[in-house]
Structure 1
Amino acid sequence: MVLLLTSRRVAATILLSCVSAVEAIEFPATLEVDIIYPRNGTFAPTVLTPIVFAIRNPQLAEPLDINFSWDIYKESQPLGDGPFSSGSKDLRWVDFSNISDPYFVYTYSKMLDVEDSWWIRWELAWGNCSKIPSTIDSVEISFGRRNNVIEFTTKNGAKQLDLASVNTPDDDTCGNVTDTRVAFNVTGVLDTPRPDKYDDRETCAVLAPPSNATAPPPTRTCGAEVGASAASSISAAITSRACAGFATDPNVTCPPESPSSAAKSKEVQFLAGMTTWLNTLVFAGVAYILIA
């Protein structure tokens, strides 16, 4: 059976849960973003190199419209050759009403499994609103971006990355990414005047001035700890995503598939192939939800 719903109704359900999560926050409140890896130091090359960010007080990420992008360069190559690996993370569809704190944003690169020296330029993008008295549009939307750079090295025989040991008291790289930490002092939220211009978000953060600049904490404190459970989940998710690809890397050790899981994998690939078609329908104002 196929149930037909309007995309607006589906979106409204998500938005209501996000709004209720924001309403529960006591202002002023601080959101912090740290890069967990890559980080300054020397590490052994890995086939699936994780790229991990942490957001503390993540319920504020929705009205701030937080998004990530990054470029990784080889230090031995001219800048004009372009990045060796690039990516981005759009948090538009994250349900911030029921997530852990800190919230980890992660993906991976298969391009860094060689010895070399690198630098990553990662960009954090955000938005905010402010009241403009005595104007037709009393609320104005603004956008900001910040670029951060970290250098690191991959070398055979160096220590393996262990996300569970990052930012713990005995971590010798603890605090070396503090200078790239981004902190936001949010004093409240406003109704977004044009949600269609703000990733369809109904609420918009109000930042303490100056809203277009952020600074790291005054002391070189460690960032968010990942912990053994979260580290294991991130590693498993990255491996699962790599193994679900149509061109699986032969160097990636994938868990053996049972007959039932193989069938489910085919279903996932089928649904993934329908994504473009479904997105077209959603943007046309209609969403089809399949009910078994």
Structure 2
Amino acid sequence: MVLLLTSWRVAATILSCISAVKAIEFPATLDVDLIYPRNGTFAPTVLTPIVFAIRNPQLAKPLDLSFQWDIYKEDEPVSDGPFSSGNKDLQWVDFSNISDPYFVFTYTKKLNVEDSWWIRWEVAWRNCSETPSTLYPVEISFSHRNNVVEFTTKNGTKQLDLASVNTPDDETCGNVTDTRVTLNVTGSLDTPHPYKYDGRETCAILAPPSNVTAPPPTRTCGVEVGASAASSISAAITSQACTGFATDPNVACPTESPSSAMKSKDVQFLEGIATWLEMLVFTGVTYIHIV
């Protein structure tokens, strides 16, 4: 399937995306918090959310931010490998229209049991600096930071309520602050080869001498998720878990009429084949090739 867009519309779209970053006043700070899992004891759940919060998320684009996580059982050696793992990158996020804070989330089905766990989560970023070289005037560096949070799942304890996370009544409030990652961005440079930088047109300049600011000395609440965002995250996770031809029977998927079910399968088929987009711009016409 090939879609054709006029060049002026493409240009307007590209400019709107770029302007979202260039409109930021530097210096600016990006904060990343792990919302869940968090220190504490929670009831096991079929779909356990993995949720990160990004404040000032427009900066995530020139930083080319990405996430990785591994969950281990407390009583098993690390050499046995993670019990559950995953990753998230923000390559296809539309940063021209994004909420602040922005929540990055996924889920695992493997924690619906009682046990003690620890999650090692990583946030990775890239930044750039100017060099005296005329051949390579911009140098790009890669950095990352790992954090660890311990938690327990136990029957009969409280169910996770994302809407109550980091509210004044949250008993675990402040735990995520200990693993907060803060990046101080002082400016941006044009990326010499965007295709080598996940298509990013600009890259971030970080404040010297340290790219990462230590967490504040006092334990304060992080980002509040709120009822609306919590509901949206929960609905999106359920939708993802219920999409496909081999859904988990333990997941309470919403019922749908036969006609809706047929439409849903059509959508699933299209989503399955549209795994990447290739854009070619030439002679005033853009071809978006969906494979």
- Any conservation in 2 of the 1:140–1:193 contact (CA below 8 Å)? no
Q: Note the residue ranges of structure 2 that are not aligned, 5 or more in a row.
A: 282-286
AA of the residue aligned to 1:161: L
Compared CA separation, residues 79 and 108, structure 1 to 2 (3 A)? same
Cα offsets for 1:183-226 (capped at 9, x unmatched): 01111111012212211100001110135434223322111100
Which amino acid letter does the alignment assign opposite residue 56 of structure 1?
R
Q: Deviations over 1:166-192 (max 9, x none)?
A: 000111101112111000111111101
3-state SS of paired residue (2:189): strand
Letter in 1 for 2:3: L
Q: How does 1:114-263 map to 2 (within 5 A)?
A: 114-133=113-132, 135-263=134-262
Distance, in Å, in 1 between the alignment partners of 2:8 and 2:271 is: 23
> Are 2:282 and 1:282 equivalent residues in the alignment?
no
Which residue does the alignment assign to 2:112?
Answer: 113
User: Letter of the aligned partner of 1:252 in structure 2?
Assistant: V
Superposed CA deviations along residues 98-153 of structure 1, whole A, max 9, x for unmatched, are 11100000010000000000000001010111112355322111110100100000
Flag structure 1 segments of 5+ consecutive residues without an equivalent. Answer: none
TM-score, normalising length: structure 1? 0.91
Q: 1:196 to 1:256 in 2, by over 3 A?
A: same
Quickly say closer, same or farther: Cα 1:261–1:58, change in 2 above 3 A.
same
Deviates more, 1:166-175 or 1:207-216: 207-216
- Of residues 260-269 and 102-111 in structure 1, the stretch that sits farther from structure 2 once superposed is 260-269
Alignment check: 8 A CA contact 1:44 1:161 kept: yes
Give yes or no for contact 2:279–2:289 (8 Å, CA) kept in 1: no
The offset of 1:13, in angstroms, is: 6.1
Aligned letter for 2:278? Answer: V
* C-alpha contact 1:174 1:223 (8 A) present in aligned 2: yes
Greater mean alpha carbon deviation, residues 31-40 or residues 16-25: 16-25
What is the CA distance between 1:272 and its match in structure 2? 2.5
2:278 aligned counterpart, secondary structure: helix
Is residue 272 from structure 1 mapped to residue 271 from structure 2 by the alignment? yes
Tell me: CA distance 1:36–1:65, structure 2 relative to 1, closer, same or farther (3 Å).
same
How many residues are aligned here?
286
Identity %: 78
The SS at the match of 1:178 is helix
Tell me how far 1:80 sits from its aligned partner: 0.9
Label 1:210 to 1:197 Cα distance change in 2 as closer, same or farther (>3 A): farther
Q: Using the alignment, how far apart are the partners of 2:11 and 2:216 within structure 1?
A: 37
Contact 1:5 1:289 in 2 (8 A): no
